[in-house]
Amino acid sequence: MRNDKYLLALNAHEKIGSQTLKKVLAAFPNLEEVWRGSEASLASRLDPKIVSLIIDAKKLYDPDRELEKIIKNNIGYLTLTDRSYPPLLKEIYDAPVILYIQGNAEALKVNSLSVVGSRKYTIYGKRIVRELVKSCVNGGLSIVSGLALGIDGEAHRMALENNGVTVAVLGCGLDRIYPSSHQNLAYEIIEKSGAIVSEYSPGTPALQFNFPARNRIIAGLSLGTLVIEAGEKSGTLITAECALEYNREVFAVPGNINNDSSRGTNILIQKGAKLVLSAEDIFSELPIEAKRSHIRAKEMMPETEEEKIILEILKEEKLVDAIVAESKMNIIALNGALTMMEMKGMVENVGGGRYRRIM
C-alpha cells in the first residue's frame, strides 16, 4: 500500500498538519526513508522543529497499527496525489494531504454548494435553509456542510429529504461523530450515497481549534458558500472568508438588522457577498447550468460501461439489491455510479432503495 501507512502515522500526530507533511514529502518522497532514517539524515533536509516532531511521532505511533485502525473502523482515505482526490479541493493552496472518508467518494466530485450558518438559528433561518436547499438540490447541486447543530444539520437533512447528495466535513476523527446527537444523521448521509470526511486521524477528539481548519475544507470542496444566519463574530464567517480567499462565490441571506443572528450575513452583503432572495440568485453566479428540466438529461448518453449496464437493467423500476444481482457490480461501485447518474439526470431515486431511469 505504497508508503501510506507512514503518512497515516505522521498525520496522527496532533502537531503535524498538512503544511508540515507537504514539506516532509517534498524532502522525502519515499516516507519509509523518514521512518527508518536517522536523525542526522532527517536534519540534512528538514527544519529542526520538523525533525523533532517526526522523532516524537516515531515514538508515539506505529504505522501498521494506524493502518489497522482505519481498516477496523471501515474508513477509507484519499491522498493529495491520488487521481480520485476531489479536484476542487486540490485547487486550494492549503489542501489537506490526506482526507479520511466514509461513504461514497464520488460525492466529493459533483458540483456542490456549501451551506453554513448559526448553531442557534431562528424560525426564519430554518425556513430559509429548507427552501433554498430544496431548490438547490432539485437544481442538481450537492450540499456540503459541517454536521453541526443548527443550520448545518438542517442543510444536510433537507438535502436527504429531497433525495439529494450531501457531504459532511468533521473537525474530529470519523470514529467520533460530533455532535454525538448527529450520529444517526451521519449514518443516513453515508447510506444515501453521501459521505463524511475529515483530515483528522481516527481517535482525534473534537478540539475547538480543529474547526476553523475544518471550515477551509468545506469552502474548498464547493463552487460557492451560502451563509444563512451568522453573528458578527461567528465561526461561520471563517468559511466565507476561506471561500473568498479561494476565489469561490460567497452568498448571504439578508436578515433583520436588529437581530444579532443576521448581523454577520448583513455585513457580508455590505462587503460584497451576493445577496440571495431565491435559488436563482445562486445559480446565476455559479459556473454551471441548473438542471431545471429533464430535456438535457434525455440528450445525455451513458459515458461508461457501468452506466450502460445500469440503464439496460432499469428498463423498469428496481431495488438496489436487484441491480446488484443483475449487474454483478459490488455495492460500493454501484452506489457511486448511481449517484453520478442521478446528478446527471439519468436515473431517479424514488425512495425505499428503488431506482428508475429517466432518459
Chain mean pLDDT for the chain: 90
| DSSP collapsed to 3 states, the chain | CCCHHHHHHHHCCCCCCHHHHHHHHHHCCCHHHHHHCCHHHHHCCCCHHHHHHHHHHHHHCCHHHHHHHHHHCCCEEEECCCCCCCHHHHCCCCCCCEEEEEECHHHHCCCEEEEEECCCCCHHHHHHHHHHHHHHHHCCCEEEECCCCCHHHHHHHHHHHCCCCEEEECCCCCCCCCCHHHHHHHHHHHHCCCEEEECCCCCCCCCCCHHHHHHHHHHHCCCEEEEECCCCCCCHHHHHHHHHHCCCEEEECCCCCCCHHHHHHHHHHHCCCEECCCHHHHHCCCCCCCCCCCHHHHHCCCCCHHHHHHHHHCCCCEEHHHHHHHHCCCHHHHHHHHHHHHHCCCEEEEECCEEEECC
pLDDT at position 179, please?
95
Per-residue pLDDT, averaged over 213-218, amounts to 96
Residue with cell 525533525: 51
Q: Considering only CA atoms, which of 48, 47, 61, 51 is closest in space to residue 11?
A: 61
103-283, what's its fold?
Answer: Rossmann fold (3.40.50)
Tell me the domain boundaries of the chain: 1-68, 103-283, 295-357
Per-residue pLDDT, averaged over 115-121, amounts to 93
| pLDDT > 70 in the chain, percent | 94
Residue 277's identity, in one-letter code, is: L
**Model confidence at 189: pLDDT above 70:** yes
* Residues with Cβ within 8 Å of residue 243, at least 6 apart in sequence: 114, 219, 222, 224, 225, 249, 250
Per mean pLDDT, which range of 17-31, 154-168, 303-317 is the poorest? Answer: 303-317
pLDDT tens digit sequence for 76-96:
999 998 888 999 999 999 999
Beta-sheet strand order (sheet of 249-252): 76-79, 98-103, 195-198, 166-169, 142-145, 112-117, 224-228, 249-252, 274-275
Domain 295-357 listed as CATH 1.10.10.10: yes
pLDDT at position 301, please?
61
Per-residue pLDDT, averaged over 65-81, amounts to 93
pLDDT at position 175, please?
95
Determine if the pTM surpasses 0.85.
no
C-alpha cell at position 273:
457577498
Q: Rounded to whole angstroms, how far apart are CA atoms 321 and 335?
A: 11
pLDDT tens digit sequence for 172-181:
999 999 999 9
Per-residue pLDDT, averaged over 249-253, amounts to 97
**∠ CA(132), CA(161), CA(306), 5° rounding?**
105
